Structure 1
């Protein structure tokens, strides 16, 4: 199992790969796409993304990297990019609840949501620039101070530059307030509250970055740096 889904007025979607720190494997990414396919038809009031107390999501899963090619890695990043765009433009309220670490593509999932609730132990990092992948950068720039994350270092809630909008304890209040709004009014409210954002430009930037030859080599070199004894403070994308 890669996901646990509780369907109701608001859907609760919990990433469920604790043995891999909820890293975004191809199977997990496709399971999330499947849930969004289902939600597009069911139209819940809201969709809540959660991890566990240690990890929201550790990012792009680099297990099995030696068996990948530039092409297969590029396809995986593009599927994640499409997933982010679907969250950004979802016809329902989206909420991310972060208790532990959200890194790389996992942090991009958080940034794609309307409400981004984080506990005191939450940590964020966007290390994609270290290996030349532009994933979620435009969305992050529209909601937070990007200079906080440019170096790819781990950032606390207090230093998150606008990324965090509240605490997990506010979730029930947010969902209750949203449920009281006339369903006919919700699309207009979502459109008014969401930052102006060019999804096509974001996907084009991602496509150019992963199409640059040497993606596999860049990721291999990055992973080697992360796993070196001198780099314990870093996390995988």
Structure 2
């Protein structure tokens, strides 16, 4: 199955999940999104102490993968965005601690993956951007508003880790300490502690807003126009970042 080559997963007390599409800047293809769904579903059953989500030094994850855009339709694109929205909701409500470790770029839906995690650790070269409003897609906005000043990201501008405010909760060197502290918490109380510590979030409302945005006619045309404005031609991959 092609999904298996898009992720590297190390399972133990802590699951280490690394996005592995380096030639495509870890852009979120359908295969990568479904692979992440599969891993999160497995983790919900097996209940690791924590799940750590990583990319590589250049890219945590670019945004929505536009490779093959010409062959897509409004309906197929809407379905892909909804699958990403459901993935974010699984992270937001995960019954285990979630940590994103970002070195390099986290753009579009890739940045939304980061925002959905409990701890968001960013290196000095990390960069974030949320360009969805430029093409009329409302993805992860409620979660971002709960943890950071959305005005910082208004208009989809690229923002450094130093300027990202509440989106960033620490740096990658903090990971061992976070995991060690979490290991000393009684496993029976971890779920309750996570529920108390996480921002109040209405998953149904977030998915409803996303659904309305991606089912507005013309999604394909909006993405095509955005791509022409924002991205140079690419020889290997075209991702929405």
Q: TM-score range by the shorter chain?
A: over 0.9
Instruction: Determine if the alignment matches structure 1 residue 144 to structure 2 residue 148.
Output: yes
**SS in structure 2 at match of 1:150:** helix
**SS in structure 2 at match of 1:47:** strand
Deviations, residues 90-116 of structure 1 (Å, cap 9, x unaligned): 000000000000000000000000000
How far apart, CA to CA, are the structure 2 residues paired with 1:190 and 1:227? 39
How far apart, CA to CA, are the structure 2 residues paired with 1:158 and 1:236? 23
RMSD across aligned positions (CA): 1.0
TM norm structure 1: 0.96
Instruction: Determine if the alignment matches structure 1 residue 186 to structure 2 residue 173.
Output: no
More helix by share: 2
The equivalent residue for 1:232 is none
Deviation at 1:161, TM superposition (A): 2.1
Deviation at 1:150, TM superposition (A): 1.2
The 4+ residue runs of structure 1 with deviation greater than 3 A are none
**SS in structure 2 at match of 1:71:** helix
* Compared CA separation, residues 218 and 169, structure 1 to 2 (3 A): same
Aligned length: 232
The equivalent residue for 1:66 is 70
Deviation at 1:228, TM superposition (A): 5.0
How far apart, CA to CA, are the structure 2 residues paired with 1:63 and 1:223? 11
How far apart, CA to CA, are the structure 1 residues paired with 2:240 and 2:93? 27
Could you tell me which runs of 5 or more consecutive residues in structure 1 were left unpaired when the two chains were aligned.
230-234
Instruction: Determine if the alignment matches structure 1 residue 42 to structure 2 residue 8.
Output: no
The equivalent residue for 2:202 is 198
**SS in structure 1 at match of 2:77:** helix
How far apart, CA to CA, are the structure 1 residues paired with 2:44 and 2:92? 13
How far apart, CA to CA, are the structure 2 residues paired with 1:166 and 1:2? 27
How far apart, CA to CA, are the structure 2 residues paired with 1:57 and 1:18? 9
Deviation at 1:227, TM superposition (A): 2.4
The equivalent residue for 1:88 is 92
How far apart, CA to CA, are the structure 1 residues paired with 2:194 and 2:41? 19
Deviations, residues 133-156 of structure 1 (Å, cap 9, x unaligned): 000000000000000011101000
Deviation at 1:40, TM superposition (A): 1.0
The equivalent residue for 2:101 is 97
How far apart, CA to CA, are the structure 1 residues paired with 2:43 and 2:232? 42
The equivalent residue for 1:220 is 224
Instruction: Determine if the alignment matches structure 1 residue 112 to structure 2 residue 116.
Output: yes
